[in-house]
Structures are given as structure tokens and as C-alpha cells.
Structure 1
Amino acid sequence: MKFIVVSLLFLMLTVPVRRAQRTTTTTTEFSFGGFSGNQSQILTTGVATIKPDGLLRLTDRNANVTGTAFYSKPVRLLANSRVGSFSTSFVFVIIPTSSSNGGFGFTFTLSPTPDRPGAESAQYLGLLNERNDGNLTNHVFAVEFDTVQGFKDVSDRSGNHIGLNFNNLASDVQEPVVYYDNDESDRKEDFLLQSGDPFWITTDQPKRLT
């Protein structure tokens, strides 16, 4: 298996949480237009590093390594037994060491702690390990950006995919990465995550919290 280098260009997050019987809404927001000068607000572990040009690099070209980067302050998502919504935007680039093979990818993760003790590399994506994979006590949600058909992927699923994972590495929802060609009657076209081109990811929060 070859390896990948993942770099984040910027990150924004907005989390509105409604409290006290819908009378007050508290919002947590942060935005980084590059990470240089913001080192104190980003907790990095493993081989993750903020480069002089402001890019956040999660991995390097060595084998079986992991790197994580978390916002330094807790973000409240639960109030009055209700889960708040959030929106985020970020740009990432996956740079493969080979034109034909990539690593296992990376995740955008909501975790109760920035410290993932015992997390392993390769198919565990620096998030879980063989012993705790699937445990409900993980309280982890992750959006995985996977470049190969790997761990627990059934035979008819694409290796180049985005998945939603709850407490485990088996995606509850998984879709291949495609875009729609508006000039060709919305024809689906494949788009490789490990192309080396920037990807802009944006999620929108619901208009109302329930």
C-alpha cells in the first residue's frame, strides 16, 4: 500500500446550540484562512504539522503514520438532551506518492476528546483500533474520505468514496465521489480524491434545530 499526504488549506465551523427551552441560542464559530499564526488554537498529534506557508499537513510520506489536528477548545453540541446542528467549510488536497495507489485517507471527526489513545494507522485512519472499533462508548462521528477499497468495504463499493461513520470504521452511509456535468444532462463523472487537486467541502446546518 502506498501513502498519502493530506493538507488542509482553511477551516470554518459554526455550531448554534439552543438552550433553556428554546429561549436562547449560543453559537460557537471559528474560521482559519490558513493556519500560520494560529498554532495555539490547533492541537496536533503524530506527524501533523503546520507548515510555514500556513498549510496544515496531516501526514507525511512515511509508512504507517498518523496525524490529527483538533480545534483547541471544546465545542458544545448537546443541550437539554438535544443535539445541535453545525456547518463547516474546508479545503483539502490529497497528494499521492504514486499515480495509481493512495493511502487509506482521512476523516473529518467529531470526538469527545482530541486525544485518541491507541488509535492506529492504515485502515483505522488514526481514529480507532482493532479493540475499540464498533464500541458505542467511542462517541465518535466521522466523515471519511477514503481513497481505496479497504477495511470492511463490501465488494460492490467504490474505493474512491465518502462515508459516514458512527463509532466504527464501517460506514453507515457511503457514496462514490462524483460530480455532475451540467452540460451533459447532469451526467455523473468520477472525480478522484487523490488527484492532487483541491477539494472544497461545505455542509449547511438546518434552518431549525429540533
Structure 2
Amino acid sequence: MILAKNLRPCFIIVFLVFYIYSSIPSTFFTADAHFDNFDSYNSGGMGIGNKYYVLQQLEPEYVKPNEPSKIMFSIQDKHGKDIHDVTVMVEIYSINGERVFMFPWTTLETGDFNIPFVFTKIGNYQIVLSILNEDLARNKILDTVPPPRTILNDSVNCNCERAVFNVSITETFGLISTLAIYGTILGAIIVLGTVIIWIFVSRRKNRSNPI
């Protein structure tokens, strides 16, 4: 009984330490090898076809209207290795289906690239990355501008693979999200400190008043 009573504070402290650790976003500890930091907001990753895996994120993570930003991509193979000599096209569509930007078919030396862009309005957008299949003659399609599509991932009449990513442009969400994260961490630290002080005071009382 005495041993269990002495170990109880230790279990409480260990639990609170794990709680604080789990409250900290994963981006505090990890980064994708192709990005300095892989953010949790306005980012995503998905497989395309049988060959590619694509990571996408915005920089900064919480983009405001009329703020310069970069749309970052990392095209890898299924094993996470770099892709070279790849032909891509990037489109941005607003929530109402209007195409607001287009980066025409271009051959890149590497699959890690970024495109500067300024979102002028608050709202949700869809970013479409198209990757040309290798068996197509590239010279015929380079710098061409295909018409907008209603079904964004539709590859009819295009010998290509497509991925669609969703991003959101807001004025205040970044601040609210950051405050919520740090508020959670601070709250957990306060609870841990309170428990440690309570354990310390309880032990001093027990020593002062032995049974």
C-alpha cells in the first residue's frame, strides 16, 4: 500500500508529460526531407497514378488576402525518391469554379519547385497539379493553355495524371489556431506545475506530521 501510494504521483507526472508532448503539433519535431517544414494547415500529400507521390503546401502556412505566397510542390516516386525531368502544369480554381491562375505545361529539372502567387480574396481554392505521362511527345504540349474544366481531376483528352489540393485563405484563422495550440500547451504546463507543487506540499506535511 505504501509503495502504491508513493508511486501514484509518479504516474500522474508521467501522464501529464505525455499529454503535453501529444499537445505539441508534429511540425515542431519533424520536417519532410523535401520541405524545411511540412505544415499541418494548407498542405497535403497524395499518390498520383502508379508512379508518383506529391506533397503540397503554402508558404506562409496561414496566407492572408493580398499577401505574397509560394505554392510549394514535391513530386516523388512511390519510395520517396526525387523525380527529375518532369513536365507539369498548375492551375488554381476559386470555390465557384473560376480558374484564376495557370502555370502552363513546363518541363522542370526536378520535382521540387514552387510557384509565387497572391490570393486576392478570402475563400477556399483548389490547386490542380497535372503531371504529363512520360510516353507523350513533350514538345507538342509545352507552353500550351488547355481550357478550364468543370471536373478538376478529369484527365480525358490529356495523357497525364492529376491531383487536387484544397487551401483556405483567411484573415484571422492563423492567429486563432496559433493561440489555441499555445494555449493548450500552456494549460498543460500549468496543470503539471500545480500537480508537482501539490505533491511537494503533501510530502512536506507528511514529514511534519508522521503517523
Please classify the TM superposition score into its range, dividing by the shorter chain length: under 0.3
TM-score (norm 1): 0.27
Larger fraction in strand: 1
- Of the two, which has the highest radius of gyration? 2
Larger fraction in helix: 2
